[in-house]
Amino acid sequence: MVVLGKEYQESIDLLMKDVKSNPKNPRYMEEFLYNENECKTPIHVFLWNPIETFGVKISCLKHNSVLKGADWTSNTLDNKGRSPRLIYCVFYNVLLIQRYYRCGHLGKDQCILGSSTLSFMELLNEELFKKFPYKMYHQSAYSFKFINFVFEMLAGGNNFKAISQTVANLKATHFGPLNGLNDLMMSFPASGRIETLFLDIFQTRKHHYKLALERIIPEKVISFDQSFKLPQNIGGKRKADGKIFIEQKRLFLALDENQKIVTWKMVKSDSLDEAHDILTDLKERCKNIFTVVTGNCCRDRSTYQHYFGYVSVKLDPRQAAHRLKEIASITKVTPNSSKFISGLKYLFREDGDVDAVRKKPIPDRETIHGNIDQFLEINSNFISSLSKGEEFEAEIVILKTHVEQDCLSGLDVGQSTEGIEVLHKMLEKSCLRDASVVSPELMEAIITLLIYHYNCKIDGKNHKCNVSIVPVFLPEDMNKEDMSLLISHPSIAITDDEEERKSILEKALTQIQIVIKTVKSIQNVCKLRLSAEEVLSNSSPGELPDHEDSHDAQVLFNLSAFGLQSDSLEEHCAFKVVLLQLYQFVNFGTEGVLVEHFKNIGLAGEVEQDSTYLRTLCSESSDDDGTRIDETSLNDSLIINACSNILRIPILIIQPFQRLSFHTLLPKDQLTETPIVLTYHSASKRMLGTKPMDTLVVETKKTSKDKSLDIGQESDDESTPVPCHCKKGCTRDGKWKKCPCASAERSCTKKCFCRNCSNNKPVCEPHGNGCRCEKGCINIDGHPRSRCPCLLSGVSCSNCKCKTCKNPFGQREERERRQDKSLDIGQESDDESTLAKCHCKQRCNKENLGKGKRQCPCVLKGLDCSDKCLCRECQNNKKIKRNPDGCRCRTGCHSGDSGDERKRKSKCPCLKLAISCENCSCTNCKNPHGARVVVLDSGNKKRQIRNRNSHTTYKKVRTEDYLATLSNITPCASLGQGSWDLEEIACLYVSTMWILQIHSLYDTEKIHELYHFFLNEESIGKVISLKTKTLKQVTEKLFTMRFVNDEFFIPNHDSQ
């Protein structure tokens, strides 16, 4: 029962008044929000009166009398009347207002039943029972959405305290701005109550999980795993003496060919005596078993043949390698230990089978012996340093004995327990990791839940919005009404710990700064203008060209924009291509952050050796994420993305599509802003390296449809030279980058996109009278948009009067530009040749001659300034004291506080020329050389101001100030300021990647919230400049950057 107070009681009274007047309202048939427009305090309410709502007749069992409606549980003031029940939900709590019913029997034993009590619910049929969406207990109640949320959180590795904390954060985010922390409507269950709830619901679902396991039947091969020891002790209190007993358990698992769990049991040791019941069950379920794979083949062969008949018993290669790893007892990860662990995985594989999952059958005994000897030779130094060296050598002898007896040879793909490592990691990361002693009931429930999720992810189907995620559905025969799926989007919970908060902000600031530097680095590499959103966009691949020739031409065109070309078509794996590009600018002989990181992860600077080791690291990282690496995958670029995260370097992939397309991969923890550039070859379906562009010729056909390939002049053999994109001039000496046109000893053509070109021979015949371009003869952004007649005609500027000439076909001589800067159009002299006429804005003073300042042309030639000059504050001719235009001083023509003319502060030209103000329009003139005489016109009267008898107009408050006055709206969430710049896009990109790592989806609301969290932090605002953005601006920008699309929409939180 809940006591909420007077404020809630007023709202409920209004609600009940409307219910009595309109009982058939469809709104009252399900959970609804009684919002603040209808009452003072918004609350979520569920009215439960099934007899009136569904029109049924129900009789009591004791008197067989029809039940009729009585009073409601609507009293929230005190415990004297009937009070509503509080239902725990995920984002908010629900107030359950139920109706009481009385039977027609009059007397002391009259039946009075609440509509949500167990006695009344037993009277309902199955269809009406499912209409009630809550699980009721004596002192608490929960929604089925909350129950499913608990199960999913436990499957993700969260403990009960973390679940309680998460629910508290969600309620504070959803309900906090309206109510205080002491409000019961935002209360949440404690961890102990959540644990009790989980165990109770699990008992009802346990049968369904068991049926899901029984449906999995191995066809020919069954594998057994006994290598996993539970990290927690199982214990409890004995009834006899009240003491706590503790036991160490391990898992006995049975797998089929697809690595799915068939059955399991917790046992004390690796002996098969405790597994008698599950082996007997498997004997009845599996009738056609031919091979059994186990960790102790020779010891347990007779036992398995007793249950399954005369079957072939083989040694599990994963468990054999696991025993060697246990003997090594590696406590510290070093390059040698990492090499040792990765080498164990490839002891029993064919040459070339180095993927994360074995793709070929286990080879013959000779190959395995060779792999073991090679492994011992490579890791000899590490093995000699082991504390259990003798025990390790004894295990190697036993392993070779198994190999000689063909206990491993012949096992096909899937006939082992290699995929069980994923389940082991799930168990290690589960909620049990923080507990020292766990009850058997809780241990069984958690393991059952994790095994069910593990099996569902193996044979489940990926959703089209994210191919790396496999949704887990509930068992088919489970009650679908009670077990409705929960769609939740947890809010961002930032810790209150100052040290941790500071660490988070420092990490965010570092990532934003590195992203900014990376974008600038890529923009400098590209010859064309690239925006930040193009560099950071989540570009999806387009359509590949139909023919290989078209593919080559398109790749050449796309690479030429970056001044690059494909390195070679040799068949290198993607890992080797990445290392070849990387080692071009990384020298292992030097010191640096990158080199130190590469040495820490085990790289040695040798491409052949490091490529195999890098493949192993990528395979291990993909196993942690639950993804599988496929070298032929271009859409997701799994291999290159994994390499980028491991090496911590950005990678730029030039894509071979019918447009200038590329994809930027930024690692989660980046160390450098310089990317390595790769390209994809569609014919060989491999990644290729790149190198600076040399002389290239591409075969293309000029068509009207594809003007993007019209990059050169046509010839008889349709051979077209590649255009250049040089930004800093076309040179041959390689000062910046070698121009392909200059290297080929040919002049740049009209189709080139170069700037400041000096690779064009001047044209002899000038273009008419020359041009007079004010903004320079230049192509804007490399595109022929200029109106310069010389540029459009493809000739050099000769006899022109253009300014800041940058004509790539031949620039105007610098001497001519300087001469025109000092000479005027008109000239004046005795022989009808003009003298210089200056336009100096500063003083024409002979004293400043030769002091590095811009010189007056009259002073340079030793002439006095004439009447034709338009210079200001001239001191080159003392006879001239004029100001034809007069002054327009508004503050008065006076010399300031100082009486010394040399120290005067006035800017009045008349005062500085020491002349009087005559034809001036200045006000309050105090010119000591002659003030302006103001003649007052007596006929002009002063304009009268009209007196209006009206109310004063409303003065609008600034938007930021108005939004700040609203308690439930933050200014940063509703006010957008201007367009996006590089720093803001980088911050948005980092926010998007953080939300994707936390929630595995692009939730625009959470991205918007995290972006403004960074914006409001002073430590970030001091370094980078960010402006507020609306949710619409963030969504549209993410859509432009291809992170979200029309088919994927995150619903509003209020709808949950």
* 682/114 Cα distance (integer angstroms): 70
Lowest mean pLDDT among 300-304, 414-418, 626-630: 626-630
Report yes or no on 837 lying in a domain: no
Q: What band does 263 get if pLDDT is binned at 50, 70 and 90?
A: very high
* Overall average pLDDT of the 853-869 stretch: 73
Residues 93 and 117 in one domain: yes
pLDDT at 224: 92
CATH code: domain of residue 568? 3.90.70
* 929/656 Cα distance (integer angstroms): 78
pLDDT at 142: 92
pLDDT digits (tens, 9 = 90+) for 509-554: 888 888 888 888 888 877 777 778 778 877 654 445 555 555 666 7
Using DSSP's 3-state secondary structure scheme, residue 279 falls into helix
Q: What band does 293 get if pLDDT is binned at 50, 70 and 90?
A: very high
Q: What is the DSSP letter of 423?
A: H
pLDDT digits (tens, 9 = 90+) for 585-636: 777 666 677 788 888 888 877 777 777 888 888 777 655 554 555 444 444 4
Neighbour count for residue 734 (Cβ, 10 Å): 10
Q: What band does 762 get if pLDDT is binned at 50, 70 and 90?
A: very low
Residues 19 and 125 in one domain: yes
* Overall average pLDDT of the 407-416 stretch: 84
pLDDT digits (tens, 9 = 90+) for 469-502: 888 887 765 644 343 333 333 345 555 667 777 8
Residues 618 and 674 in one domain: yes
Report yes or no on 938 lying in a domain: no
Report yes or no on 598 lying in a domain: yes
Residues 573 and 675 in one domain: yes
Q: Which of the two residues, 564 and 66, has the higher pLDDT score? A: 66
* Overall average pLDDT of the 426-453 stretch: 81
Residues 158 and 289 in one domain: no
Residues 80 and 124 in one domain: yes
Summary mean pLDDT of the chain: 74
* 143/89 Cα distance (integer angstroms): 6
* 821/533 Cα distance (integer angstroms): 42
* 969/379 Cα distance (integer angstroms): 63
Report yes or no on 594 lying in a domain: yes
* Overall average pLDDT of the 408-432 stretch: 82
Report yes or no on 136 lying in a domain: yes
pLDDT at 124: 84
Q: Which of 455, 480, 505 is the last residue of a domain?
A: 480
Residues 134 and 161 in one domain: yes
Residues 141 and 52 in one domain: yes
pLDDT of residue 882 exceeding 90, the answer is no
pTM comes to: 0.48
Domain that holds residue 590: 563-692
Report yes or no on 619 lying in a domain: yes
pLDDT of residue 146 exceeding 90, the answer is yes
Report yes or no on 508 lying in a domain: no
CA-based Rg of the chain, rounded to a whole angstrom? Answer: 41
Residues 405 and 312 in one domain: no
Residues 410 and 420 in one domain: no
Report yes or no on 765 lying in a domain: no
Instruction: Name the E strands within 191-238.
Output: 221-225, 233-237
Using DSSP's 3-state secondary structure scheme, residue 803 falls into coil
Residues 11 and 104 in one domain: yes
Residues 22 and 159 in one domain: yes
Q: Which residues of 798-837 are buried (b: 16+ CB within 10 A; e: fewer)?
A: bebbbeebbbbbbbbeeebbeeeebebeeeeeeeeeebbb
pLDDT of residue 307 exceeding 80, the answer is yes
Q: Which of 448, 480, 512 is the last residue of a domain?
A: 480
* 410/228 Cα distance (integer angstroms): 25
Q: Are β-strands 68-72 and 94-102 bridged in parallel, bridged antiparallel, or unpaired? A: antiparallel
Q: Residue 357: beta bridge partners?
A: none
pLDDT at 721: 62
Q: What band does 459 get if pLDDT is binned at 50, 70 and 90?
A: confident
Burial class (CB in 10 A: 0-12, 13-18, 19+), 1041: buried
Q: What band does 292 get if pLDDT is binned at 50, 70 and 90?
A: very high
Q: What band does 433 get if pLDDT is binned at 50, 70 and 90?
A: low
Total number of domains in the chain: 5
Q: What band does 1025 get if pLDDT is binned at 50, 70 and 90?
A: confident
